[in-house]
Amino acid sequence: MATAQLAPSSPGPSTPIARPGRESTAAWPLLDRLCFWLCWAAALGLCAIAVAIVLYMFVKGVGFLKLSMLTQSPKPSLLQKQSGGFSDPLVGTFVITAIGTALAVPIGTAIAVWLSEHARPRWAARAVESALEMLAGVPSVVLALFGLLAFSQGFLGFLSESSAAGHVTGTSFLTAGITMGVLALPLVVAANYEALSLLPARLREASHALGKTRLTTIRHVLLPSIRPATATGAVLGMGRIIGDTAIITILLGGAINNEPAGGFLGLLRGTGATLTSYVYYQSPAGEGNSHEKAFAAAFVLLLIVLMLNAIVTQISSDRPLVRRGMWRAMEWDLPWTR
């Protein structure tokens, strides 16, 4: 077997002639050819699964999706098929994503900047890196439990409602949003840190040579250079937030309507629903009995996620469909500066 491999096969009258260029697989042993076909099968199978999921949701969801569903709130009714829509969960998803991203992106960028620019003392930098790795691996249910524990404490009661006996519920858009921010943090930090570490040292050196302080360098030179990576991190974080159900179920209550608490920022301090929890409660496993609405909402959710994915691909691609102007990283690698 070994000698047959080392000696090149000479084309005889029965062996196929290999064309110049790519090595033809026709002359390979059967096992190798099987593995080659398995590679093709695995990749195309994955594609088929992804397309099948999207198509299935499309077929099932579009049939039940009406424009009125996007604008009406959920209404309890015996005629589940005709009543109500999911405007409340849609608003809920938007609010949660906004809060989570507004927390995760600035804090994550700041942490990434600290890790790449300062990172002193050494033990602190190593500890923060380990903590972020750990946070990336923590299941979202555990994060939700911790969030519930933290926000049920008395001094954080302003973030959610309290019952008449003074017992803080800890469930509201604010608490769920903050927990989502913690969930998305590692993604944002990783994207920014990777981009910052790929920036050439001459950028910083040139800026210091011009007499600029560290802070100015960061604000005006480094951060604009990594804009695509910051955007990618933000969109990845948004994708993770939008798709999470466990935190919503535990920290936002089981309602399917948004119920604002009274007073200032009522909506944010009240409980509500998002698309994910709405799908869960309407699905056959939840309490509702309307598969149709679950499918419609799940289809809208999938569309949102697909859009976010397309945005990420566009940001990091070399041939974008839309001119990106100021969103392109500044071109430090101009040919004549190399």
Tell whether residue 284 is a contact of other proteins (CB under 8 A). yes
User: CB-wise, 12 or 211, nearer to other proteins?
Assistant: 211
Site for other proteins in 116-155 (CB under 8 A): 118, 120, 124, 127-128, 130-146, 148-150
Site for other proteins in 178-237 (CB under 8 A): 182, 185, 211, 213-215, 218
CB of 50 to other proteins, least distance (A): 5
- Alpha carbon 180 to its chain's center: 11
Give the DSSP H/E element, type plus range, for residue 313: helix 291-316
List the one residue from 69, 91, 222, 244 that touches other proteins (CB under 8 A).
244
CB of 26 to other proteins, least distance (A): 11
Site for other proteins in 69-88 (CB under 8 A): none
User: CB-wise, 173 or 278, nearer to other proteins?
Assistant: 278
From CA 112, how far away is CA 190, in angstroms rounded?
A: 7
User: CB-wise, 91 or 115, nearer to other proteins?
Assistant: 115
The 36-65 contact track toward other proteins, x by CB under 8 A, reads: x-xxxxxxxxxx-xxx-xx-xx--x-----
What residue type is assigned to position 109 of the chain? T
User: CB-wise, 107 or 267, nearer to other proteins?
Assistant: 107
List the one residue from 231, 234, 273, 301 that touches other proteins (CB under 8 A).
301
Instruction: Name the residue among 149, 134, 137 with its Cα closest to residue 179.
Output: 149
Instruction: Name the residue among 178, 194, 274, 179 with its Cα closest to residue 232.
Output: 194
> What 3 state SS string does 82-145 have?
CCCCCHHHHHHHHHHHHHHHHHHHHHHHHHHHHHHHHCCCHHHHHHHHHHHHHHHHCCHHHHHH
Tell whether residue 175 is a contact of other proteins (CB under 8 A). no
Choose one: 69-77, 78-86, 257-265, 307-315; the region binding other proteins (CB under 8 A).
Answer: 307-315
Tell whether residue 337 is a contact of other proteins (CB under 8 A). no
Sign of CA dihedral 314, 316, 320, 324: positive
- Please work out the total of residues on this chain that contact other proteins, with binding judged by CB under 8 A: 93
CA atoms within 13 A on the CB side of 221: 20
Cα–Cα–Cα angle for 181, 183, 185, rounded to 5 degrees: 65
Query: With b meaning 16 or more CB within 10 Å and e meaning fewer, what string describes 78-108?
Result: eebeeebbbbbbbbbbebbbebbbebbbeeb
Choose one: 65-73, 221-229, 298-306, 330-338; the region binding other proteins (CB under 8 A).
Answer: 298-306
